[in-house]
Amino acid sequence: MMHDSIRKCVHGIFRPPMMKIHGICLILCFVFLSEVVDASTLPSEIPIGGLFVVEWSSSYWERYIAAAAQAAVEIINERNFLQGSRLKLYIADMSVTRSMSPNSLISSSDFDKLVETSMVNAIDFTHIPKFASLIGPGYSSEADRLSPWLYQEDLLSVLVSATSPQFSDRVQFPDYAKICPPDSYQGWAIADLMQTLKFKSCQILSCADVYCAGLTGVFIQHATAMNIRFTKNVWSYVDQSAVEANLQEIVADCVASSVFVLLMTDVQAKVVFSAAKNLNLLGRLVWIGSEGVSSLLPSELPGNYIGLRMAWNQSSQSLQDLKSWWSLRPIQFTSSEFGNVSMPDESMWRSYSYLPLAYDAVFALAYAFKAMILRNESVYNTSALKQALLDVKFEGASGFISFNSDLGPEIGRYDVIYQSNSRNFSFVGKWTSTGGFSTLENLHLVTDGALGVCQGIALGGMFVVNWNPGYKDEDAAAAARIATIMINQDPTLLPGINVSMFIGDTSAVRAISQNGFLSANQYNIVMQDALSAIADELHSEGVRAVVGPGFSSESIRALPALENLGMFEMSFSATSAALSNKQLYPNFARTCPPDNLQGKAIADVLAHFGWKKCQLIGCVDVYCTGLAQTFLQRCKELNIEVEQIHFWEFNNPSGTQALIKTIYENCSDSRLFVLAMHDHDALEIFQAADTIGASGNVVWMGSESVTSISSGLPYGYLGMKIGFNDTNPIFKRLQAFWDSLNPAEFPGADKLLTNPYLVLSYDATFALARAFDAMIRNGISIFNLSAIVETIKDLSFDGASGKVSFDSSLNPSFGIYDLVNQKANETVSIARWEAGSITHLVMADTPTETWFDVAVTWPGPSGKNTIPVCASAAQSSQLLLKLLLSICLSLLFVFFVTMFLWCYFCRPARTDDEDVEVIKMVNKIRQQLKMTIKDGFLTSREAHTRRYRLSKGRMKVIDYRYLVNAAKFTLIRDFEIKHMNAFCNWLRNQASVSVPFVESKRRLSLGVQQSLQDITTAGLRLATVEQERYHRLGWFIIETCETMLSPGNMSYDESIEESDEFEARFVYFLEKSAKINIWNDDDLNLFGKLKVAIAKHMAILGQNCQERFDEMKAEKAGDALISFRDSQEPPRRYSPYKQSDKEVLAIRLHEEDTRDASYQDEIKMVQISPTGIRVHSEEVFVAQLHLRAKLVNHAFQKKVLQVIQSHESLSGRESLDKESQVASEELIPSSSDQSTFCADFEEYGGDLLQRKISVDCKFDDGVRRVEISFAPVKSKARISQKLLKYADPHLHCVWPYSGYILDPVSPLPSGMASVTSSAGATVRDRGWAQEDPRSIQVVR
């Protein structure tokens, strides 16, 4: 037995700042534990807790199952079943918890914490310090949130009605046993019921909580295997009006199934039934319900209802015992405040199937407790209780009870109940997991099929209709509207259903341009918001699918909003290849071929004409960059050289003119210009070419978007146009019908032959109509997006453009392009590209050699020759050659003189050894940040040398002092923070200034031709090269600090101790590195990245410690070493967990303290923790804890010092320095000193804390020094500060929180680290502390 003054001390856990890696990483922490007495006497009372809702309503089903559990307890005690021990059930009322519902004001994680706290508070309110087991809670979501607390308390709970299949996972939920069958059985049984009743489709109504999600997942798995079609609907049921709106939308579907499967709770089902009644739908539907729904009373269930209910044996003796006992008198709960419960009537016995399960749950625990008592095991031993339950087998009220290895029922059993429209309630069958349905009576249900209330389908269109007259989208919108008219006229297509078209005008979206006031991200957000508003407007009209929008960038930005609203998108002109990615854009289809075909077609045309060089001009959006990427790839395959690539920000006429002038006047490059851009961008290009007089001397090759310009194409223009069959009868019928309409209302008939997008818009509308027609005929909901996708993949029909079908990426299966040529008064298709081959459409019999001259109209006299002739340049070259020859000797002389002067003035300056290391690091940093001369950067030192005078004006100059200080920072030398901050600010300012776009594109052109990487990514990288450099600086800072804080000795001087060297680096990090202002940049998030980097070091240290410990275990004294108790083992099983525990009583808790806390609530004398928990004032407890710490502190430290001093070497003592000698004499009493001297470190202000007491001790291998440092008692202020730390729902702590502060006394700030070399030495050190039988206990 230990000293009484020490017995009630609590242990502290510490970590030394640094340990020697080559030695043993073992910390000896001194822990004072009281002797634990194991009570083996038979318990007179075994408390179990019941988590039930008992104060919600007098007829609520959980109140009755709580009464059934109480009845089981009374019967067990009456029979003396536990031979001297009595069960007692304490109700923890869950009414407050059950009344909580999530809302938009609280996050889901915070709501989970709130529910958990509410349940724990209800359990604490029973004032029972320890339960042997629990029963409940009733809902799966509640059980999920309570699980962490059960694990912490090492407590088992038996679930009566929480049926989620996740609780069968013993790894994730080790502290639950289940008397009710899990939903892995129920989902299977409901699907089996659907198949047995020959229902082929259904609407699933579910919720988002644990119970609904688990049951729904199992049902869908089995329904899919049984070919049962379903539409899943996950709703919130808090607002009945919202439920009514959702129901109304479902039945508006043309093929909404009349079978509704309700996978939800009883409360949610009542909301659904009420909403259906208000909509006059209650009697028109077949309702199939889960056991949660079936727990409602028959009067609360609708007609035409069939559902599952937990099975129970009505003829079993156990059930008869329960009914007999209950019939004698009402069941009285242990707490009188909950009242009593009278015998249920017959309808309740039929509905409340959990009654026998609750009864059986108590008996199962009783059988387990009985076995444990016979084995002399404590009833509070949770592991033994779990093992005992596995052996429990008995005939219960619900049937035969036995548990499988998951502590769940071995067999799942359900009764099938049915209530007809005439309100006759009956049991009609049984289902078991081993045999399926044993019987199932014939039922008179509403016939399976659609409700048949759909009378119309609304389609939407996203078109530009009001931007400028004659714009192509206006004509395409007219084509879509004409298609809906013709669909309604077709008696075979969607018969009896009217198709309407609602146009969403995107003119305002198209008018938005990225200017100097909007960043790229802001521009994207503005565009998305504008398109989302249009999508919302269309959805309000009931639109199910949308034709358009016209641009690829608009389609990509509109898709998230459309998908969120359940709408499908079918575009007629969005051609970007990126939209073929079905992982990113699964609900997008198009009738136009993608640009990966057009890029190949343009390159094939260039090869067909024999052109080997060209220049590429494009815009910067996804359409242009995607088209350019495919074109460049194909050019590489055909050995066509793309001499220059220019991606340009249009809507800048003066800048565009300067660009074209620069390109045109370069005589060395081809004058074949390939245009990958939109039509309005091309008009800006053509105007610029006219202004500088280049039109007749340039050959233009444009994309299909450029060709779509109705007027304004230059003479001799060549370009691509999407091809289609204008001779097929569908096109002729469209043409004739369009001509008969009013052109003011339906413009565009005159452009039908020249603008392919009109035909494609018409076909896109028909494709959606045919998809919905096929889905309705097959009984598939048109609200099902995935079903729309699968239906469109199988579509094949004759459209106005020809055969229409789709591939797996929802692109058209066929892609045709016409090569058009602008004549004097018309645009003519002269050739056709299809599947890589080119066919001439005009003068087809003319030989290819002469066809280019006679069939093609060229812009100027040079014809197809695109190589410029620069005669003046040739003459200048000859003159220059003559001049060079005449002055050759003079230049040679000047050259030698220049070289001599250059070598004299520009020789490198001599530096000492330190400068050489800094210079090398400067060069390395410049390469890492891409700030070399090659990258366009000069240092201020280089800028003053003569050899860079000519380059200085074209390059950026950076202060050389910035780089020198960055190098010193990397080398962990003293540097000036102001220069380092200036360096970071300079790079940040560079990153925030836009680079002239054309200059950046010129620098990229060669790299694009060589690598052919993603042009979109490349363009973005060019526009943000300065941002990339700034982010490189951030990674440079992180890498340097990661090295700076790495463990181990980085010094080459072996005489420097590793710990000292690391401490010096750590101080350097705090005082120098951490003060660089770049850490404050939230965009870089450097602290978060550094945390990840440091975690690697911690993992390596932990691995090294474990490896060294494993080596020591294998040594001779290893067995003795591992016999030390691990200080990290759970304290709840080996030591007092709180300062208020009876073994410690450093904090004394009385009933008056509880009342004081309630008074504090009334007067609002509380703090709110960061996690939202109310924390009362604990000044009384803090004072008690602080006093106890001061009382035991001296005895604690004195005992440690006496143990060390008893092994002191006299010779070693003489060698101590004077300061340590004085400190030792003052503070280390002799072994015979019985004084009560105590150094109050708070009073002395901490001067003594800076000293280390060094004692040279005798060891087997010689004399070595042991250093001991004193640590102060934790102050009251510090203890009060730590209270809020424990007011965290994740820690599951309860009031008073000061009881969790286990380290108010620390004998050493870092403990005493015994750095030894073997397991034997460690065991010997432990022996010092154990020599006195009253001494301290050493732990690992």
pLDDT at 62: 87
pLDDT at 67: 92
| Higher-scoring residue by pLDDT: 1269, 130 | 130
pLDDT at 904 over 70: no
The Cα–Cα gap between 771 and 786 comes to: 12
pLDDT at 1123: 61
**Which of 16-30, 581-595, 883-897 shows the highest mean pLDDT?**
581-595
**Dihedral of the alpha carbons of 740, 743, 748, 754, in degrees to the nearest 10:** 60
| Higher-scoring residue by pLDDT: 547, 890 | 547
Mean pLDDT calculated for residue range 290-304: 88
DSSP H or E run through 417: strand 413-419
Mean pLDDT calculated for residue range 753-763: 90
**Which of 147-151, 309-313, 878-882 shows the highest mean pLDDT?**
147-151
pLDDT at 447 over 60: no
Quick: pLDDT tens for 30-62. Answer: 333 333 334 345 788 999 999 999 887 776 888
pLDDT at 585 over 90: yes
Mean pLDDT calculated for residue range 90-99: 89
| Higher-scoring residue by pLDDT: 994, 421 | 421
Quick: pLDDT tens for 978-1014. Answer: 888 888 888 888 776 433 333 333 333 333 333 333 3
Return contacts of 1197-1200, CB within 8 angstroms, 24+ apart: 1197/1270, 1197/1307, 1198/1229, 1199/6, 1199/1335, 1199/1336, 1200/30, 1200/1268, 1200/1307, 1200/1308, 1200/1312, 1200/1336
pLDDT at 1218 over 60: no
CB 553 within 8 A of CB 621: yes
| Higher-scoring residue by pLDDT: 860, 105 | 860
Instruction: Write the CB contacts of 973 (distance below 8 Å, at least 6 apart in sequence).
Output: none
| Higher-scoring residue by pLDDT: 872, 1270 | 1270
pLDDT at 1126 over 70: no
The Cα–Cα gap between 708 and 473 comes to: 11
Q: How confident is the model at residue 972 (pLDDT cuts 50, 70, 90)?
A: confident
Share of the chain above pLDDT 70, in %: 79
Quick: pLDDT tens for 913-928. Answer: 447 888 888 988 988 8
Mean pLDDT calculated for residue range 781-810: 90
Q: How confident is the model at residue 1309 (pLDDT cuts 50, 70, 90)?
A: very low
pLDDT at 147 over 60: yes
Helix-then-strand count for the chain, H and E: 46, 40
pLDDT at 411 over 50: yes
pLDDT at 1169: 65
Question: Is 29 in a helix, a strand, or coil?
Answer: strand
CB atoms under 10 Å from CB of 527, counted, come to 20
Q: How confident is the model at residue 1054 (pLDDT cuts 50, 70, 90)?
A: low
Instruction: Write the CB contacts of 1073 (distance below 8 Å, at least 6 apart in sequence).
Output: 969, 1037, 1040, 1041, 1044
Q: Which two tokens stand for residue 1023?
A: 């526009």
pLDDT at 1320 over 60: no
pLDDT at 1325 over 70: no
Q: How confident is the model at residue 1210 (pLDDT cuts 50, 70, 90)?
A: low
Quick: pLDDT tens for 723-743. Answer: 888 888 999 999 999 999 999
Q: How confident is the model at residue 1324 (pLDDT cuts 50, 70, 90)?
A: low
pLDDT at 571 over 80: yes
Which DSSP letter does residue 947 get? G
Q: Which two tokens stand for residue 780?
A: 């598939």
pLDDT at 1049 over 70: no
Instruction: Write the CB contacts of 728 (distance below 8 Å, at least 6 apart in sequence).
Output: 798, 800, 802
Quick: pLDDT tens for 183-194. Answer: 889 999 999 998
pLDDT at 1016: 36
The Cα–Cα gap between 46 and 381 comes to: 12
pLDDT at 1229: 41
pLDDT at 288: 95
The radius of gyration of the chain's CA atoms, rounded to the nearest angstrom, is 42
Quick: pLDDT tens for 299-342. Answer: 899 988 999 988 877 788 998 999 899 999 898 888 877 888 88
| Residue 494 C-beta-side C-alpha neighbours within 13 Å | 27
Q: How confident is the model at residue 450 (pLDDT cuts 50, 70, 90)?
A: very low
Q: How confident is the model at residue 1128 (pLDDT cuts 50, 70, 90)?
A: very low
pLDDT at 759: 94
The Cα–Cα gap between 648 and 643 comes to: 16
pLDDT at 1136: 52
Weakest mean pLDDT among 117-121, 804-808, 1084-1088: 1084-1088
pLDDT at 811 over 90: yes
Mean pLDDT calculated for residue range 107-122: 89
pLDDT at 351 over 80: no
CB 393 within 8 A of CB 167: no
E-assigned strands of 564-692? 568-571, 588-590, 613-618, 641-647, 672-676
Q: How confident is the model at residue 255 (pLDDT cuts 50, 70, 90)?
A: low
CB 360 within 8 A of CB 310: no
First to last CA, the chain: 21
Mean pLDDT calculated for residue range 1114-1141: 58
Mean pLDDT calculated for residue range 160-180: 89
Quick: pLDDT tens for 1246-1298. Answer: 444 445 677 778 776 677 777 776 677 777 877 777 776 677 666 667 778 77
Q: How confident is the model at residue 1220 (pLDDT cuts 50, 70, 90)?
A: very low
pLDDT at 1238 over 70: no
CB 1139 within 8 A of CB 1185: yes
Average pLDDT, the chain: 79
pTM summary value: 0.43
Quick: pLDDT tens for 1068-1095. Answer: 888 888 888 888 887 788 877 887 778 7
Query: Minimal CA–CA distance to 312: which of 419, 160, 440?
Result: 160
| Higher-scoring residue by pLDDT: 177, 1043 | 177
Cis peptide leading into 549, omega within 30 of 0?
A: yes
Query: Minimal CA–CA distance to 1307: which of 1202, 1197, 1213?
Result: 1197
Mean pLDDT calculated for residue range 414-427: 85
